[in-house]
Structure 1
Amino acid sequence: MKWNLRLAAANRGIWKASELQRMLAERGVVISAGKMSGLWSGQPNTVKLDELDVICAVLACGVEELLLPEPERVPEPTPATDSQATAVGQPRAVAPRPRTGRSLPPR
């Protein structure tokens, strides 16, 4: 996923992170300068869902404008090896293991 906050804000005439930070604070979401820098630069560490709700309300946008899918970055599935193919494909017969006696008591 690509974080697209800066462009979404620019489309609404918000050009500074501090301006958006102030608008979020007016709605009850106080974001530190460090976290705001990450949100604004496009590399946020975390975004809480309640913060995302407020960001969408302030910008009057949907989540689909802030989070852009990047399917080309998703790795292709690896081909199955023989052991994986049998585990996924047809069921194998399960043979019980013989018991060789009692287990030892804990030391």
Structure 2
Amino acid sequence: MKAAEQGIWKSTELRRRLADAGLEISAGKMSALWTGNPTSIRLDDLDIICHVLDCEPNDLLIREPAAVAARRPVKTNIVAVGATVTPRLGRNRTQPPA
């Protein structure tokens, strides 16, 4: 959307403007940026992109809480029926069951 607001309707035009600002981007990386699915982006590159599009980084970045939650490891606590587990911290740790 920020590119369209600046009158940039093709990824090749944005790529040319970025090159004029000192950022050479490969066609593959430009495609990922244009479609909104880049795997990574350097902060230096983001700074130049924001300069060219006359915007702030938060105008370009979209939070994805569901994606963050999906990456969280699943924690499971397995406790025998009727057993009570009392963890001890420090040097007096209990030994694992044999």
Tell me the TM-score normalised to structure 1 length: 0.65
1:25 counterpart residue number:
19
- For 1:67 and 1:40, how far apart are their aligned partners in 2? 13
Q: Identify unmatched segments of 5+ residues in structure 1.
A: 1-6, 96-107
Matched with 1:100 is: none
Q: How many residues align?
A: 87
Partner residue in 1 for 2:29:
35
Displacement of 1:94 in angstroms is 2.3
> Any runs of at least 4 consecutive aligned residues in structure 1 with deviations exceeding 3 A, and if so which?
76-80
Report the secondary structure of 2:69's partner residue.
Answer: coil
Which of 77, 80, 88 lines up with 1:81 in the alignment? 77
Taking a change above 3 Å as real, the CA distance of residues 73 and 18 of structure 1, as seen in their structure-2 partners, is: same
Q: Deviations over 1:47-102 (max 9, x none)?
A: 1111100000000101111101122433287566268x966xx625526xxxxxxx
Q: Percent identity?
A: 44
Task: Report the counterpart of residue 60 of structure 1 in structure 2.
Answer: 54
1:12 Cα offset (Å): 1.9
Shift of 1:34: 1.2
User: Given the two structures, how large is their TM-score scaled by the length of structure 2?
Assistant: 0.71
Q: Which aligned pairs between 1:3-18 and structure 2 lie closer than 5 A?
A: 7-18=1-12
Q: Distance in 1 between matches of 2:19 and 2:34?
A: 15
- SS where residue 65 of structure 1 aligns? helix
Matched, 1:50 2:48: no
